[in-house]
Amino acid sequence: MAASPGNLDVQDLHLQGLTKRFGDFVAVDNLDLTIPAGSFFALLGASGCGKTTTLRMVAGLEDPTEGTISLGDADITKLRAFERPVNTVFQSYALFPHLDIFENVAFGLRRRGIKDVQKQVEDMLELVELSTMARRKPSQLSGGQQQRVAVARALINHPGVLLLDEPLGALDLKLRRQMQIELKRIQDEVGTTFVHVTHDQEEAMTMADTVAVMNAGRIEQMGHPADIYELPRTVFVANFLGQSNLIAGKRTGVSGDDVVVEARGLTFLVPSDRCSCTTEDMIVGVRPEKLTILDKADEGQVPEGHNRVPGRVTDVSYTGVSTQYLVDTPWGQELGVFEQNVVVGDRCDVGDEVVLHWAPAHTFGLDGSAGATAGSELED
């Protein structure tokens, strides 16, 4: 690819004590965050969690109530939007409708007084594969093309950080998938730090190398997508990022490396290093695909030391790749189970008495003092 802006002076973005209040409402609450240079970083959360406000403060479109924003060693908190080496891909793109694609992309260069923009704009249009569209107006492009113009228009300025505000929200599912791959390719090529705000957990997990889950103006958990998914540290994260089966119980002791939890007359083992709780009230969690479903009659096959829950199947949905079961526990809670359709036939039916079991290594323990439902109704 001919066009590679190759940004060498990419620097870490630091947010320190960043707070934004609108009257009494705290949109962003004392946020401390370091986004490593060159990473693809996703801020994930439901609408109203403060992620867009955070992004707007970094862009300079919103003044923080407190705290600082710095790029490398330079404090940019007080710089106004047009003075910051930060560019944004806006939700629904906000292309200039009266300018053609070329002029849209050239806009930032021209405002900085750069006279000879031809070569740079052409290279950039090539990067986003829109070379033939230079003289069209934005309204003559499809959604996906407009999206790429918005990316090109921001990237041509070699920003220290590229901010993306729900950039794929306006596209249909198929195009969204395609643009996810496209954006990753562009990021690989230019090496700029991308900060991506989204409410779509799948989008965040596919694209980002670091995901921060935001809730009520705070970051609940941050890390590699797989780490967060496999080991959620709060009830909100467990429910918001994928699905979780959460069973409330009480911590009763320790057995070897495991914490012992009593819940509903059953005993569960949770590895101590997968347990993020200090209180007696605890929640035992496990992801639906980690569960194995067995007919009651085959209970003897459950491996020694596995956690187990008896139940009755209330719903079976066959989705091709997997089968999803809903299993009613004796205490009336429904647990979800995903089973890969590796073996043809021989599935459980509605009404079957079954046993669910899983390895303690797949269990996670959460602080149970706040209940087990946070984040579960917010699912996109």
Name the site residues for another protein (rule: CB under 8 A). 59-61, 80-83, 86-88, 90-92, 94-98, 107-108, 111-112, 136, 139-142, 144-145, 153-154, 157, 174-175, 178
Nearer to another protein, 106 or 259 (CB): 106
Nearer to another protein, 59 or 69 (CB): 59
Written as six digits, the tokens of 369 are 């003092």
Cα 357–chain centre separation: 29
Of the candidates 233, 108, 199, 116, which has an alpha carbon nearest to the alpha carbon of residue 159? 108
Nearer to another protein, 163 or 237 (CB): 163
3-class DSSP assignment, residue 29: strand
Distance CA 73, CA 40 (A): 20
- 350 burial type by CB count under 10 A (0-12 exposed, 13-18 middle, 19+ buried): exposed
Nearer to another protein, 104 or 363 (CB): 104
CB of 64 to another protein, least distance (A): 17
Nearer to another protein, 166 or 339 (CB): 166
Written as six digits, the tokens of 256 are 């070897």
- The DSSP code sequence of 316-365 is EEE-SSEEEEEEE-TTS-EEEEEEE--SSS----TT-EEEEEE-GGG-EE
Nearer to another protein, 83 or 334 (CB): 83
Q: Give the number of other Cβ atoms within 10 Å of residue 347's Cβ.
A: 15
CB of 207 to another protein, least distance (A): 17
Of the candidates 243, 165, 238, 236, which has an alpha carbon nearest to the alpha carbon of residue 198? 165
CB of 258 to another protein, least distance (A): 51
CB of 15 to another protein, least distance (A): 18
3-class DSSP assignment, residue 281: strand
Nearer to another protein, 203 or 258 (CB): 203
Nearer to another protein, 163 or 241 (CB): 163
The letter for the amino acid at 358 is W
Nearer to another protein, 34 or 140 (CB): 140
CB of 157 to another protein, least distance (A): 7
CB of 52 to another protein, least distance (A): 12
Strands (E), 62-189: 66-71, 74-75, 86-89, 161-165
CB of 91 to another protein, least distance (A): 7
Distance CA 359, CA 338 (A): 15
CB of 225 to another protein, least distance (A): 26
Cα 43–chain centre separation: 6
Distance CA 232, CA 251 (A): 18
Written as six digits, the tokens of 236 are 């909100």
Nearer to another protein, 117 or 293 (CB): 117
**Inter-axis angle of helices 118-127 and 173-190, to 10 degrees?**
130
3-class DSSP assignment, residue 155: helix
CB of 97 to another protein, least distance (A): 7
